[in-house]
Amino acid sequence: MAAEGTESVDMTGYIQHHLHHWQVKVGDSAFMTINVDTLIFTLLCAVTFLFLFVFLARRATSGVPGKLQSIVEAVVLFVDGLVKETFHGKSKVIAPMSLTMFGLIFFMNFLDLLPIDLLPWAWASGHQLAGHDPAHAYLRIVPTADLNTPLGMALAVFLMTQYVGISQKGVGHFFGEFFTAPFHAEGPIAKILLSPANLLLRLIEECVRPVSLSLRLFGNMYAGELIFVLIAVMTLGATLAHTSTWLLGFGQIVAGFGWTAFHILIITLQAFIFMVLSIVYLSMAAESH
């Protein structure tokens, strides 16, 4: 019974360690805590995305393109066509912003396909060489599995939506719709009576959009990361002398490959959904009711 209890504690500690961020507190307040690993890997993905597109733009040829250039051109044309079909206003920043959003989210999601223990093990080994306790070397490499990243991007989309609505309609028309839609009425008295309900529904709609946009991405990526951790736990503390180790190891390989193949679809689909919903919200802000 003691061995089983110890194994349970080790598994719990293993899972908690993988779900703990490398954090730095600002001052004495626990509220102001920075997830340093999220910032580092977000910046790394942004630099990689920027370098890739700048490199391909400078090396682009009108002749037969290479494989990477063909893939990027296909993505650019697809996003541009999607924006033209969905967004009916006039803006030169919607398509580049949508492409950047899709590419950045895809790169951040793609980090979830790296071996779950690879970078945390390297980080813990560096901690140990520096004379620190490796048990306190925390590192999470998927920025979108941290709620702060999807929420921050969703709030940026929310602010962009307000800007597009005001620039396309004007301040008076844009904020006037807060009191006149979705319930339309004829006559000044009916409009006044319906304005509180319209305002309440509009405020709920505006608040729900960034919440649902961020939680959808965060929930899928957090669950995907947790499943990879649970797959790794299957052979945690196992020894080669037991037959069960070989059976669990075979099951772990099958489960790992199966979930990785399925997760490739998830990381691409979540980046696509985030981009499409952002375009739809921007389009709705630009169109008059």
> Using one digit for the tens of pLDDT, what is the confidence trace for 59-87?
877 777 788 888 888 999 999 999 988 88
Q: How many structural domains is the chain composed of?
A: 1
Catalytic residue among 35, 198, 214, 220: 220
Q: What pLDDT, on a 0 to 100 scale, did the predictor assign at position 9?
A: 44
Catalytic residue among 216, 244, 283, 288: 216
Catalytic residue among 125, 212, 244, 288: 212
Q: Is residue 177 part of a domain?
A: no
Q: Is residue 183 part of a domain?
A: no
Q: Is residue 173 part of a domain?
A: no
Q: Which residue has the tokens 């390297």?
A: 122
Q: Is residue 263 part of a domain?
A: yes
pTM beyond cutoff 0.85: yes
pLDDT tens-digit map of 126-146 = 988 888 888 888 999 999 999
Does the active-site annotation cover 8? Answer: no
79 is written with which tokens? 């996003």
Q: Per-residue DSSP letters for 161-219?
A: HHHHHHHHH-HHHHHHHHHHSSS--SSHHHHHHHHHHHHHHHHHHHHHHHHHHHHHHHH
Does the active-site annotation cover 220? Answer: yes
Q: Which residue has the tokens 């037991």?
A: 242
Q: Is residue 49 part of a domain?
A: yes
Residues 6+ apart with CB under 8 A from 211: 154
Does the active-site annotation cover 283? Answer: no
Q: Is residue 65 part of a domain?
A: yes
d(CA 71, CA 64): 13
Q: Is residue 6 part of a domain?
A: yes
Domain that holds residue 64: 2-164+207-286
Q: Is residue 21 part of a domain?
A: yes
